[in-house]
Chains A and B, each alone.
Chain A
């Protein structure tokens, strides 16, 4: 794809919204798998007895866990970039620039999460090694009863000219 083709494709995404609803509850196993992957052995994520005796009253998930949208996809997943492809967002060469999270309540195993994505902005910048395009996403995560769990504002970068990475 030419640079201008990529840029116009990114700009056309601004204002678009995408919704992903998990087909089932979060469950204990996925929380345990995430906690083990990040190496965080907090008993509130893993130990039923200790978590049950805590003010949370049971197992909860690490705060950023629910902000990973791929876990809400069902059906066929592409070889690369599952949720980005599902939202028709270009994936080749995409680099994450960072996140701004807000957390309203911890997710519990019985929650069924819906992720709502909104493409908030697209802009160009001259980087150290060439022209870059940035795509800003606003993501909102809610329970089946509409309770707000978390929001995440994320920026992706795409290289527009020359080779290599941003």
Chain B
């Protein structure tokens, strides 16, 4: 895997989008992997009693998707310094999501070469299920050791 370099990045650049299909099985797998047994994430009757049409995906699972969007692009999970996002619309089994991002700023801070991005996740209806999202990556720059 080649690591993205600071010089390869331009402001306004779009990140290669990442598609994710959310199924009840995927939601169960995330719950099991995080020891999260909240019935809201897999029990339809429980979800309906609380006003949802179907079980709701864990909000932090979408944060993990945004991390993958960043690390697939940068080539190094260690590059992600900060990630913020807001869950805006619930995600249900059967939803097809696309994670997207755009570079807003390149900057240096001390010895760090940093890239700021705006991020968002859309569902198959074009709704933003995650928005007000941003991240900061630290990338290797020319002359630095990778």
Q: Could you tell me which A residues sit within 8 Å of B by CB distance?
A: 30, 33-34, 36-40, 42-45, 55-56, 60, 62-65, 67-68, 70-71, 73, 77, 79-82, 91, 93, 95-103, 105-106, 163-165
Decide yes or no whether B107 CB sits under 8 A from chain A: no
Q: Write out the residue numbers on chain B whose beta carbons fall within 8 Å of the beta carbon of A37.
A: 26, 29-30, 32-34
Least CB distance from A86 to B in Å reads 12
- Asked if B83 and A80 make an inter-chain contact with CB atoms under 8 angstroms apart, the answer reads no
Which of B34, B39, B50: most chain A CB closer than 10 A?
A: B34
Q: Write out the residue numbers on chain A whose beta carbons fall within 8 Å of the beta carbon of B1.
A: 42-44
A37–B146 alpha-carbon span in the complex (Å): 29
- Asked if A105 and B78 make an inter-chain contact with CB atoms under 8 angstroms apart, the answer reads yes
- Asked if A68 and B29 make an inter-chain contact with CB atoms under 8 angstroms apart, the answer reads no
- Asked if A165 and B52 make an inter-chain contact with CB atoms under 8 angstroms apart, the answer reads yes
- Asked if B84 and A73 make an inter-chain contact with CB atoms under 8 angstroms apart, the answer reads no
- Asked if A93 and B63 make an inter-chain contact with CB atoms under 8 angstroms apart, the answer reads no
9 contacts between A and B (CB under 8 A): A38-B65, A44-B76, A44-B77, A60-B77, A62-B71, A73-B35, A82-B35, A82-B37, A97-B87
- Asked if B64 and A38 make an inter-chain contact with CB atoms under 8 angstroms apart, the answer reads yes
Complex partner residue of B80 from A40, A79, A103, A164, CB under 8 angstroms:
A103
Decide yes or no whether B132 CB sits under 8 A from chain A: yes
Which of A40, A62, A98, A165: most chain B CB closer than 10 A?
A: A98
Decide yes or no whether B36 CB sits under 8 A from chain A: yes
A163–B67 alpha-carbon span in the complex (Å): 35
- Asked if B67 and A64 make an inter-chain contact with CB atoms under 8 angstroms apart, the answer reads yes
Q: A60-B78, A62-B77, A63-B67 given as contacts; is B146 within 8 A of A55 (CB)?
A: yes
Q: A99-B63, A101-B63 given as contacts; is B37 within 8 A of A63 (CB)?
A: no
- Asked if B132 and A101 make an inter-chain contact with CB atoms under 8 angstroms apart, the answer reads no
Complex partner residue of A103 from B26, B59, B81, CB under 8 angstroms:
B81
* Chain B, Cβ-Cβ closest to A96: B59
Q: A93-B50, A103-B80 given as contacts; is B34 within 8 A of A34 (CB)?
A: yes
Decide yes or no whether B5 CB sits under 8 A from chain A: no
Complex partner residue of A38 from B39, B61, B81, CB under 8 angstroms:
B61
Complex partner residue of A165 from B34, B39, B51, B85, CB under 8 angstroms:
B51
Complex partner residue of B86 from A30, A81, A98, CB under 8 angstroms:
A98
A69–B82 alpha-carbon span in the complex (Å): 19
- Asked if A39 and B26 make an inter-chain contact with CB atoms under 8 angstroms apart, the answer reads yes
- Asked if B83 and A98 make an inter-chain contact with CB atoms under 8 angstroms apart, the answer reads no
Q: A56-B78, A63-B80 given as contacts; is B63 within 8 A of A80 (CB)?
A: no
Q: Write out the residue numbers on chain B whose beta carbons fall within 8 Å of the beta carbon of A106.
A: 77-78
Complex partner residue of B87 from A36, A45, A55, A98, CB under 8 angstroms:
A98
Which of A99, A102, A164: most chain B CB closer than 10 A?
A: A99
Least CB distance from B98 to A in Å reads 14
- Asked if B35 and A96 make an inter-chain contact with CB atoms under 8 angstroms apart, the answer reads no
Q: Write out the residue numbers on chain B whose beta carbons fall within 8 Å of the beta carbon of A95.
A: 87
